């Protein structure tokens, strides 16, 4: 059992939990993920590690409530226990001192997993420009943590309700134009698929290498089931053991999007089943 030690609510649907998981905290690296299970009947939920504290033995996760399981996770409070918590899984981010400016992009809840990678890139001696964006200002979180992790931080919102109006790609384009594409050896982008895809489309035009972290449907997370398979430059890879990070220009986004939707109607059914048990109009509460 894994105790929830801290909880922060960033918006009605975006929440942070700090979980007591010393075994994971001891060995995890930026870019890796964990799989958790809330209870005996629960499914295995993969989430990228947003932060860790080796001394305290804790792992921080940030998630958006999109279905029954994440909604239920959002209902959990400090002092509650998760049934299972396993990791670190997947390959760590590739960290090195690049020649030039590294740009990291976090969209929506994707800001969280970008954070430890940005921090490591900066610690490796890189000049790291961070771009974070969300639909609106009230959904934005960790601006302070990202400001500390990056050398420079730029913020944007789709609706212009905070700092400026525009997509992360708009900001990205301005940076590339200002710095010159030859001075940006690497871009890392994590966020919703359409956002990562848009970043890749932009950087492809400039010929800038772009790493993305994919969030695929998984079961075991150790390469055993192949549920998370994705086509990378024409060959099949498993996100759980070969990834989760890949060269975004090699990803078959159409296939990834389709495979991500395999259980969509089942997810709806699970949500309805969950709500109908409650009967208090709580919208998915316990």
Site residues (vs other proteins, CB under 8 A): 23-24, 26-27, 37, 41-44, 68-69, 83-89, 219-220, 222-227, 229-231, 236, 241, 254-255, 258-259, 261-263, 265-267, 269-270, 273-274
Exposed / middle / buried, residue 149 (Cβ in 10 Å: 0-12, 13-18, 19+): buried
185 or 284: CB nearest other proteins: 284
* Closest distance of CB 263 from other proteins, Å: 5
94 or 258: CB nearest other proteins: 258
Cα–Cα distance between 89 and 93 in angstroms, integer? Answer: 12
* Closest distance of CB 226 from other proteins, Å: 4
* Closest distance of CB 62 from other proteins, Å: 21
- Residue 131: count other Cβ atoms within 10 Å of its Cβ: 29
Closest C-alpha among 195, 193, 214, 204 to residue 131: 195
The torsion angles phi and psi of 211, rounded to 5 degrees, stand at -100, 135
Cα–Cα distance between 2 and 126 in angstroms, integer? Answer: 36
105 or 232: CB nearest other proteins: 232
Cα–Cα distance between 235 and 33 in angstroms, integer? Answer: 23
* Closest distance of CB 51 from other proteins, Å: 18
58 or 156: CB nearest other proteins: 58
* Closest distance of CB 172 from other proteins, Å: 29
Cα–Cα distance between 135 and 50 in angstroms, integer? Answer: 20
65 or 103: CB nearest other proteins: 65
């Amino acid at each position: 059992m894994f105790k929830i030690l801290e909880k922060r609510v960033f918006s009605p649907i975006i929440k942070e939990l700090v979980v007591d998981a010393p075994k994971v905290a001891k060995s995890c690296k930026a870019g890796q993920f964990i799989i958790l299970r809330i209870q005996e009947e629960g499914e295995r939920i993969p989430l990228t590690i947003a932060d860790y504290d080796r001394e305290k033995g804790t792992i921080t996760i940030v998630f958006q409530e999109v279905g029954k399981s994440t909604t239920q996770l959002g209902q959990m409070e400090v002092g509650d226990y998760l049934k299972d918590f396993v990791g670190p899984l997947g390959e760590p981010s590739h960290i090195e001192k690049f020649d030039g400016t590294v740009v990291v992009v976090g969209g929506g809840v994707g800001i969280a997993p970008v954070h430890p990678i940005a921090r490591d890139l900066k610690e490796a001696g890189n000049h790291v420009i961070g771009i974070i964006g969300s639909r609106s200002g009230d959904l934005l979180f960790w601006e302070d943590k990202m400001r500390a992790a990056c050398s420079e931080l730029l913020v944007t919102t789709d609706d212009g309700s905070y700092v400026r109006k525009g997509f992360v790609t708009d900001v990205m384009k301005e940076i590339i134009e200002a710095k010159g594409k030859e001075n940006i050896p690497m871009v890392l982008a994590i966020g919703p698929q359409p956002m990562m895809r848009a970043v890749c489309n932009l950087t492809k035009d400039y010929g800038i290498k772009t790493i993305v972290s994919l969030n695929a449907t998984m079961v075991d997370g150790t390469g055993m089931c192949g549920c998370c398979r994705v086509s990378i430059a024409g060959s099949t890879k498993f996100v759980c053991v070969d990834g989760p990070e890949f060269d975004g220009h090699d990803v078959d986004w159409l296939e990834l999007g389709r495979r991500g939707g395999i259980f969509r109607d089942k997810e709806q059914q699970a949500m309805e089943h969950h709500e109908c048990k409650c009967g208090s109009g709580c919208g998915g509460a316990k």
